[in-house]
């Protein structure tokens, strides 16, 4: 029975993912929901109720914790948690339309929230499915205890996505099959989480506690690329395709020697030449997954170091303009690499990053694209600790797109002068003179900022 339960839960997960990606009339979605309904009905032929609980982001059925299934559908479990679903119960006589209504609710984004799950089910006359919080201290039939660990949903989603990337990259490098539906669902979840939550996005991107692994850099680049692409007005499908391409843009680098990536100091000529080959290596690897991922990830892997003027690598016989997705991802790749602390270079403050990247107009980057990037991100990104020329200290609260140099600042020190300050409306003599590293000279102010943000 436990194998049937696992199969039903995996099929239910696939149905939710498919509903988020396809319309309810799409043949692919109908094929998947038919399968999930058949699996759940099969279980209900031997027992009156099929009850599943979610305990600390792990699935439970009767006295079993389904760790292997939980690992495969971790992104969906986080989604359940955010919708306050800790328990799902299916009962006889379950109808297919009831399952369809339930899946529709689960597939609704936070922005289109359909209300409380119990109210939704009652409103739609669904009587054979129940879901929601676990009210009692422990469920009498399953022994399920209420979930008590809240955590930070943004950081949990980020970490879960990083885990998924690492696993998927390893599967590709081992030439194993990948779960494309889960991957695309995860990317869609990231878009839902970080669109309109720019502060949380930049907080995650600017983590400087330790040298980041390559797959975290790939995730940062993916999130940045999707955010930038969406702000440029690209369609949702194109944004997701760009996000997936960004996730694997450096897969060739991972396939090569990890020792080179962690080496301190300057690379030898031989090591540097080998690293430059990673774009070709990555493109060839991803071509093997063209059927699942499409051709774009392979194109981006090949082109993401090509540069706007073709002066990068790999060297081409004839000049060509890199694909727009490659240009977006390359720009975000460079930005994140400069933003993060690496073993082979010192940390660059925001103004230095802006100066480096704008200097590369017409060479590394399309000039219009890099201008648009900094209009959206600002010279001083959201959350940056800054010091003004009158010695006040604050953090960037809002970007002024009409003046990327002069954002809205929340002053936190001295306390007697605290408050919000829109530099675009102030005299030109009031200006930012430098950013403060939150782990060094800005540490005490970072603590004040955290306290102020609650």
Domain-by-domain residue ranges, the chain?
2-150, 155-377, 385-453
**403 compared with 117, residue with greater pLDDT:** 403
Q: What is the pLDDT of residues 82-94, one digit of tens each?
A: 777 888 888 888 9
Q: What is the pLDDT of residues 326-359, one digit of tens each?
A: 999 999 999 988 877 554 455 678 899 999 999 9
**26 compared with 323, residue with greater pLDDT:** 323
Structure tokens that stand for 179 in this block: 């779960």
How high does pLDDT run on average in the chain? 79
**150 compared with 330, residue with greater pLDDT:** 330
**429 compared with 72, residue with greater pLDDT:** 429
Model confidence at 303, pLDDT cuts 50, 70, 90, reads very high
The predicted pLDDT at position 204 comes to: 55
The predicted pLDDT at position 344 comes to: 45
- Is-contact 448 442, C-beta < 8 A? no
pLDDT surpasses 90 at 369: yes
Average pLDDT over residues 264-282: 69
Alpha helices in 288-366 (DSSP H): 290-293, 296-303, 324-339, 350-359
Q: Tell me which of 10-19, 75-84, 194-203, 225-234 is least confident.
A: 194-203
DSSP state of 342: B
Question: How many other C-beta atoms lie within 10 A of the C-beta of residue 398?
Answer: 16
**383 compared with 234, residue with greater pLDDT:** 234
- Domain 155-377 is found in CATH 3.10.310.30: no
The predicted pLDDT at position 143 comes to: 44
C-alpha to C-alpha distance for 287 and 309, rounded to whole angstroms: 25
| pTM of the complete model | 0.70
Average pLDDT over residues 141-152: 45
Model confidence at 7, pLDDT cuts 50, 70, 90, reads confident
441-449 own/partner pairs: CB under 8 Å, 24+ apart: 442/385, 442/393, 445/385, 445/393, 445/395, 445/412, 445/413, 446/385, 448/412, 448/413, 449/385, 449/395, 449/412
- Is-contact 350 435, C-beta < 8 A? yes
pLDDT surpasses 90 at 371: yes
């Amino acid at each position: 029975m436990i194998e049937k339960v696992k199969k039903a839960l995996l099929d239910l997960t696939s149905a939710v993912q498919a509903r988020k990606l396809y319309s309810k009339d799409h043949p692919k979605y109908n094929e998947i929901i038919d399968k999930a309904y058949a699996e759940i009905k099969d279980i209900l032929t031997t027992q009156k109720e099929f009850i599943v609980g979610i305990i600390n982001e792990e699935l439970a059925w009767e006295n079993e914790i389904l760790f292997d299934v939980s690992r495969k559908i971790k992104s969906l479990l986080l989604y359940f948690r955010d919708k306050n679903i800790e328990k799902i119960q299916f009962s006889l006589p379950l109808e297919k339309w009831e399952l369809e209504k339930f899946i529709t609710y689960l597939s609704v984004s936070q922005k289109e929230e359909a209300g409380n799950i119990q109210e939704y089910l009652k409103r739609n006359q669904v009587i054979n499915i129940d879901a929601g919080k676990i009210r009692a201290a422990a469920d009498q039939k399953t022994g399920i205890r209420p979930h008590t660990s809240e955590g930070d949903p943004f950081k949990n989603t980020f970490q879960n996505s990083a885990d998924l990337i690492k696993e998927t990259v390893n599967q590709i490098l081992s030439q194993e099959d990948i779960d494309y539906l889960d991957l695309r669902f995860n990317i869609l979840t990231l878009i839902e989480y970080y669109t309109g939550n720019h502060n949380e996005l930049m907080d995650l991107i600017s983590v400087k506690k330790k040298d980041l692994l390559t797959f975290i850099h790939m995730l940062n680049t993916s999130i940045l690329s999707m955010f930038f692409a969406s702000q440029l007005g690209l369609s949702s499908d194109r944004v997701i395709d760009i996000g997936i391409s960004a996730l694997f843009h450096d897969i060739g680098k991972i396939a090569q020697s990890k020792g080179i990536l962690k080496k301190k100091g300057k690379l030898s000529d031989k090591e540097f030449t080998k690293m430059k080959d990673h774009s070709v290596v990555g493109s060839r690897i991803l071509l093997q997954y063209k059927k699942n991922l499409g051709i774009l990830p392979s194109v981006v892997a090949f082109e993401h170091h090509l540069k706007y003027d073709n002066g990068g690598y790999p060297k081409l016989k004839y000049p060509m303009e890199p694909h727009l997705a490659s240009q977006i991802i390359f720009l975000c790749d460079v930005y994140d690499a400069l933003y993060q602390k690496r073993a082979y270079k010192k940390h660059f403050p925001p103004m230095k990053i802006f100066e480096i990247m704008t200097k590369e107009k017409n060479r590394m980057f399309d000039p219009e694209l890099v201008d648009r990037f900094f209009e959206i991100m600002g010279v001083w990104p959201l959350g940056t600790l800054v010091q003004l020329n009158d010695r006040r200290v604050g953090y960037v609260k809002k970007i002024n797109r009409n003046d990327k140099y002069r954002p809205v600042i929340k002053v936190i020190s001295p306390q007697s002068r605290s408050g919000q300050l829109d530099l675009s409306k102030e005299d030109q003599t009031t200006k930012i003179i430098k950013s403060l590293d939150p782990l060094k000279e800005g540490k005490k102010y970072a603590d004040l900022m955290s306290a102020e943000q609650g």
